[in-house]
């Protein structure tokens, strides 16, 4: 490579690392072409294959729960929804602006004196989560406001100081584990009201002392969570974007090692830390930092190539934005069960897990809307289990919906039909070179056989062969439905058509 080109690439790499040029998360990631020395890079092997990671890949659907003091205001101050609901409800403490009451942050920080969720029933949440089809839950132990839902001995700002007193994290961990749902603990590093927290790189002696105390406090809390709740499968980290944390790469590297030593099967996503060059999620050589890519928040990869073979999850809100409880959702678009099915199967078709968020109210109730969604989604996941769990990406696309294929049986293909064709014919295109082609088709939920026939449509010099699945006119489905397609060796005798003279 020419020297000048080399220098330009190096400058671009530095500008990216410094965050001066920003790639869109959804852009295709090009692996850096020059190798950079990285000492604090990835700790685990890429694509771990231990039982914990295998389980992670099979989860399919997860439940996220954002619960904390922000459930009390529920996205509004005295009935006024600041920023018309565009800001996330759990960020209400930081909203400010002309509608914020005086002494708002102080008022917010005292909300713990009111936190007494009289209807909280972790067993009920877990039961409903199972009904929905979730195989793992991510639960907020502590959000950016710093309030701990477990009685941490390293903080006074915890559930133990609230009128409720009891350990909420324990109840959630126990109840979900009992239902066979794996538990991951959400943990925000950033803390808005912690006097030791420093956002920028500590400079003065006082800032350095404070931030060192904060790092030690973070370490203590994480070890405490591991000790208190040994059943947990992993941590879901957040609030790790400030320069102070980014600059602590040596500390975070050792901490990750320590957490993994305590539990070699622990699963941590790519948000926890960065390398010594400030590269987050991926190190400066494009290696994933952690066990799965954790950047798909309220967004979805356009195609599987963008993912580059990494594990990933997509976390999604029901309202456009807002993870904590929202008292009044009037005028907001709430994702429907159909939206969720679409997003779930889109994730699954690209080997990702889909995690749907819920924001219980101050008493521990899910909203009516959330409850209905749980019931409806649960009916769908129950009827279509085989297409959702223990499946892989199938390397063909369909305009009708999403393909998934059974992990262990490469002849069991599923097509989730989102777009039902007007003419009642699903025409599947398979490359002529395919070793396995569709031989039969049936509806997954009731095993009803469907007519499948080879359609030799005679496109000149076509590389595909076509299979038509006939959808009976009287087939009534209110939602997406799944067709199970049995694949096998092709027995089609093809007459070579004359090429068109042009």
Residue ranges in contact with ligand FHN by CB under 6 A: 88, 90-91, 238, 297, 315, 323
- Closer of 150 and 237 to ligand FHN (Cβ): 237
How do strand 234-238 and strand 267-268 relate by DSSP bridges?
parallel
- φ, ψ dihedrals at 293, nearest 5°: -80, 130
Contacts of residue 11, defined as CB under 8 A and 6 or more positions apart, other chains included, come to: none
Q: How far is the CB of 335 from ligand FHN (least distance, A)?
A: 15
Maximum Cα interatomic distance, the chain, rounded to a whole number of Å: 84
Torsion of CA 54, 57, 61, 64, to 10 degrees: 90
Q: How far is the CB of 238 from ligand FHN (least distance, A)?
A: 5
Q: How far is the CB of 325 from ligand FHN (least distance, A)?
A: 12
Q: How far is the CB of 334 from ligand FHN (least distance, A)?
A: 18
- Closer of 6 and 298 to ligand FHN (Cβ): 298
143: left (phi over 0), alpha (psi -120 to 50) or beta: beta
Query: Apex CA 91: angle with CA 90 and CA 94, to 5°?
Result: 150
Q: How far is the CB of 217 from ligand FHN (least distance, A)?
A: 20
Among 220, 219, 280, 359, smallest CA distance to 40 is for: 280
- Closer of 140 and 248 to ligand FHN (Cβ): 140
Query: Apex CA 458: angle with CA 454 and CA 460, to 5°?
Result: 135
- Closer of 190 and 376 to ligand FHN (Cβ): 190
Q: How far is the CB of 458 from ligand FHN (least distance, A)?
A: 51
What tokens does 41 get?
């890079």
Among 72, 134, 482, smallest CA distance to 316 is for: 134
Tokens 């600041």 found at: 82
Segments of 131-289 assigned E as strands: 136-142, 182-188, 234-238, 267-268
- Closer of 315 and 483 to ligand FHN (Cβ): 315
- Closer of 138 and 266 to ligand FHN (Cβ): 138
What tokens does 107 get?
């008022």
- For residue 113, give the 3-state DSSP assignment: helix
Separation between Cα atoms, residue 390 and residue 351, nearest integer Å? 10
Q: How far is the CB of 241 from ligand FHN (least distance, A)?
A: 8
Q: How far is the CB of 142 from ligand FHN (least distance, A)?
A: 11
CB atoms within 10 A of CB 321: 15
Does an H or E element contain 377, and which?
helix 368-383
Q: How far is the CB of 94 from ligand FHN (least distance, A)?
A: 10
- Closer of 32 and 319 to ligand FHN (Cβ): 319
- Closer of 190 and 276 to ligand FHN (Cβ): 190
- Closer of 325 and 484 to ligand FHN (Cβ): 325
């Amino acid at each position: 490579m020419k020297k000048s080109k080399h220098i330009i690439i190096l400058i671009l790499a530095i500008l990216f690392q410094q965050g001066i040029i920003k790639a869109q998360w959804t852009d295709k990631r090009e692996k850096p072409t020059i190798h950079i020395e990285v000492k604090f890079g990835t700790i685990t092997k890429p694509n771990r294959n231990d039982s914990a990671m295998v389980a992670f890949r099979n989860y399919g659907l997860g439940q996220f729960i954002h619960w904390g003091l922000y459930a009390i205001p529920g996205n509004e101050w005295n009935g006024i929804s600041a920023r018309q609901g565009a800001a996330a409800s759990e960020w209400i403490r930081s909203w400010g602006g002309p509608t914020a009451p005086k002494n708002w942050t102080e008022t917010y920080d005292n909300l713990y004196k009111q936190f007494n969720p009289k209807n909280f029933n972790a067993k009920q949440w877990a039961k409903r989560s199972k009904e929905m089809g979730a195989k793992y839950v991510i639960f907020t132990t502590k959000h950016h406001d710093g309030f701990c839902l477990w009685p941490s001995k390293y903080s006074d700002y915890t559930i133990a100081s609230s009128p409720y007193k009891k350990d909420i994290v324990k109840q959630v961990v126990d109840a979900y584990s009992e239902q066979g749902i794996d538990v991951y603990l959400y943990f925000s590093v950033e803390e808005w009201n912690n006097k030791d927290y420093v956002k920028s790189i500590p400079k003065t002696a006082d800032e350095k002392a404070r931030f060192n105390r904060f790092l030690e406090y973070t370490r203590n809390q994480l070890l405490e969570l591991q000790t208190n709740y040994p059943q947990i499968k992993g941590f879901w980290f957040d609030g790790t974007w400030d320069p102070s944390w980014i600059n602590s790469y040596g500390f975070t590297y050792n901490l990750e090692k320590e957490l993994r030593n305590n539990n070699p099967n622990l699963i941590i996503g790519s948000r926890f830390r960065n390398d010594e060059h400030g590269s987050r999620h991926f190190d400066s050589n494009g290696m994933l930092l952690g066990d799965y890519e954790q950047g798909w928040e309220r967004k979805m990869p356009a195609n599987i190539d963008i993912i580059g073979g990494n594990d990933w999850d997509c976390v999604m809100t029901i309202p456009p934005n807002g993870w904590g409880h929202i008292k009044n959702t009037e005028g907001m678009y709430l994702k429907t069960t159909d939206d969720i099915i679409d997003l779930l199967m889109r994730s699954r078709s690209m080997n990702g897990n889909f995690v749907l968020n819920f924001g219980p109210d101050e008493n521990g109730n899910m909203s009516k809307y959330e409850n209905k969604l749980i019931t409806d989604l649960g009916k769908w996941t129950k009827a279509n289990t085989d297409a959702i769990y223990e499946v892989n990406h199938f390397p063909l696309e369909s305009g009708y919906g999403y393909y998934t294929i059974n992990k262990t049986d490469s002849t069991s293909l599923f097509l989730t039909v989102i777009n039902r064709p007007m003419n009642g014919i699903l025409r599947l295109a398979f490359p002529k070179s395919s070793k396995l082609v569709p031989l039969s088709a049936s509806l997954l939920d009731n095993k009803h056989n469907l007519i499948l026939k080879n359609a030799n449509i005679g496109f000149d010099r076509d590389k595909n062969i076509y299979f038509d699945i006939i959808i009976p006119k009287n087939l009534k489905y209110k939602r997406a439905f799944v067709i199970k397609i049995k694949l096998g060796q092709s027995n089609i005798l093809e007459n070579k058509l004359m090429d068109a003279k042009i």
